[in-house]
Amino acid sequence: MIERGLLRVNKRGFIMNINEQVEKILANLGVEMEYAEHEQHDENSVPDISIFQSSRDHYGVFYRLDIIDQMPQLRIMMPVENGALKVEMYLVLLSMNTPLHTWFKGISSYHGSLVFERGREGTLQHLLYAVAEMMKQLFWSGDLYSMVFPQEIDVRRLM
């Protein structure tokens, strides 16, 4: 892995996506990732939009908001007292039972006027901000110890 500024590049010279970066960190610690068949990600999936935020409500917590394959993803990184990295990371996805995930696909695939096309990225960013705020509220209303969360989100501990 080579670092170019803030971009991490793998051995093949491609920019590493967030999944590859987490796998690399964990591999250096001797951890091998296992995925269920439906969780397999495309090695070349690069976020259409990525936004980093620090939490205003939770000290030391950082958020990464992404649109990957036309789906919003929220990663929550929080400091902990134990472990080699002293951090836990959670992946929060919208449940397939909610209508919100279809909004991103619809806006991304719609072919409209030139004005619409020019405003698409800004629209997706604002939509991502709004949906991520809801995802954060749902996450923090859940129970991290038992990993029980509201039905509108699916949460996985990444590390």
| pTM > 0.85 | no
pLDDT-derived band at 52 (thresholds 50, 70, 90) equals: confident
Residues 79-133 have pLDDT tens digits of 988 878 888 999 999 998 888 878 888 888 888 899 998 888 888 889 989 999 9
Residues constituting the chain: 159
Per-residue model confidence (pLDDT) at position 90: 95
Domain boundaries, the chain: 1-43, 47-157
